[in-house]
Amino acid sequence: MVEAQLVGLDPRVEAFLQGGPKKLFIGGDFVESVSGKTFDSVNPANAEVITAVYEADKEDVDRAVEAAERAFYGDWAKVTPSERGRLLWKLADLMDDHLEALAQLESLDNGKPVAHARAVDIPLAIDHFRYYAGWATKISGELIDSSAGRSMLTYTRREPVGVVGQIIPWNFPILMSAWKLGAALATGNAVILKTAEQTPLSALYLAGLIQQAGFPDGVVNIISGFGPTAGAAIVTHPRIRKVAFTGSTEVGKLIMQQASGNLKRVSLELGGKSPNIIFPDADFSKAIPGALMGIFFNQGQVCTAGSRLFVHKKVYDNVVADMTSHAAKMKLGPGLDESTDIGPLVSAEQFSRVSGYLHKGVEEGATPTTGGRPLEHPGYFVPPTIFTDVSDQMTIAREEIFGPVVVALPFDDEAQIADVIRRANNTEYGLAAGVWTTDVRKAHKVAHALEAGTVWVNCYNALDASVPFGGYKQSGFGREMGSAALELYTQVKAVWVNLD
Write out the catalytic residue numbers: 269, 303
- Residue placing its CB nearer to ligand NAP in the complex, 227 or 343: 227
- Residue placing its CB nearer to ligand NAP in the complex, 107 or 307: 307
CB 338 within 8 A of CB 115: yes
- Beta partners for 6? 337
Per CB under 6 A, the list member of 231, 300, 344, 371 interacting with ligand NAP is 231
Strand-pair category, 405-411 with 385-388:
parallel
Is 196 one of the binding residues for ligand NAP (CB under 6 A)?
yes
CB 255 within 8 A of CB 268: yes
- Residue placing its CB nearer to ligand NAP in the complex, 324 or 427: 427
Is 251 one of the binding residues for ligand NAP (CB under 6 A)?
yes
Residues 380-419 as x/- pattern, contact with ligand NAP by CB under 6 A: --------------------x-x-----------------
- Beta partners for 31? 24
CB 131 within 8 A of CB 465: yes
Is 38 one of the binding residues for ligand NAP (CB under 6 A)?
no
- Residue placing its CB nearer to ligand NAP in the complex, 182 or 252: 252
Interface segment toward ligand NAP; rule CB under 6 A; list 53-61, 184-192, 224-232, 381-389: 224-232
Angle at the Cα of 124 (from 122 to 125), degrees rounded to 5? 65
Residues 168 to 187: which contact ligand NAP by CB under 6 A? 168-171
Per CB under 6 A, the list member of 137, 147, 154, 248 interacting with ligand NAP is 248
**What Å distances lie between residue 176 and 234, 244, 247, 267, 444, CA to CA?**
17, 11, 10, 14, 30
Is 214 one of the binding residues for ligand NAP (CB under 6 A)?
no
For residue 404, which phi and psi values (nearest 5 degrees)? -80, 60
Residues 268-307 as x/- pattern, contact with ligand NAP by CB under 6 A: --xx-------------------------------x----
Per CB under 6 A, the list member of 20, 74, 214, 228 interacting with ligand NAP is 228
CA distance 20 to 14: 12
DSSP conformation class of 350: H
Residue nearest ligand NAP, Cβ-based = 227
Interface segment toward ligand NAP; rule CB under 6 A; list 89-97, 181-189, 243-251, 450-458: 243-251
Is 360 one of the binding residues for ligand NAP (CB under 6 A)?
no
Strand-pair category, 308-312 with 367-370:
unpaired
Per CB under 6 A, the list member of 136, 209, 210, 232 interacting with ligand NAP is 232
CB of 341 to ligand NAP, least distance (A): 21
CB 164 within 8 A of CB 240: yes
Residue 81: Cβ-neighbour burial (10 angstroms; 0-12, 13-18, 19+): middle
Per CB under 6 A, the list member of 39, 226, 284, 477 interacting with ligand NAP is 226
- For the CA atoms of 31, 32, 38, 44, what is the dihedral angle to 10 degrees? 10
Q: Which helix (H) or strand (E) holds 206?
A: helix 201-213
CB 1 within 8 A of CB 332: yes
Is 247 one of the binding residues for ligand NAP (CB under 6 A)?
yes
Is 131 one of the binding residues for ligand NAP (CB under 6 A)?
no
Interface segment toward ligand NAP; rule CB under 6 A; list 22-30, 76-84, 166-174, 456-464: 166-174
Interface segment toward ligand NAP; rule CB under 6 A; list 38-46, 57-65, 89-97, 161-169: 161-169
Q: What DSSP letter does each residue of 428-451 carry, written as one string?
A: S--SEEEEE-S-HHHHHHHHHHS-
Name 330's Cβ contacts closer than 8 Å, sequence gap at least 6: 296, 341, 342, 383, 384
How far the first Cα of the chain sits from its last, in Å, is: 81
Per CB under 6 A, the list member of 24, 56, 235, 311 interacting with ligand NAP is 235
Query: Which residues of this protein are in contact with ligand NAP, per CB under 6 A?
Result: 167-171, 194, 196-197, 226-228, 231-232, 235, 246-248, 251, 254-255, 270-271, 303, 353, 400, 402
